[in-house]
Amino acid sequence: MNRLRLRAEGGFTLIELLVVIAIIGILAAIAIPQFAAYRRRGFEADAQAAARNLATAQEAYFVGAQRYASTATAAVLTGFTLGANIAITTSGNTAKFTVTSKSTKCLTGGTVTFDSATGLITTAACTG
> Residue 105 corresponds to which amino acid?
K
pLDDT digits (tens, 9 = 90+) for 47-80: 898 888 888 888 888 888 888 887 766 666 777 7
pTM for this predicted structure: 0.72
**Positions in the chain short of pLDDT 70:** 1-9, 72-76, 128
Q: What pLDDT was estimated at residue 27? A: 93
First to last CA, the chain: 63
97 CB burial (10 A radius; 0-12, 13-18, 19+): buried
Distances, alpha carbon 29 to alpha carbons 23, 25, 32, 35, 93, in Å: 10, 6, 6, 11, 51
The pLDDT of residue 89 is 84
Domains of the chain: 12-123 (3.30.1300.70)
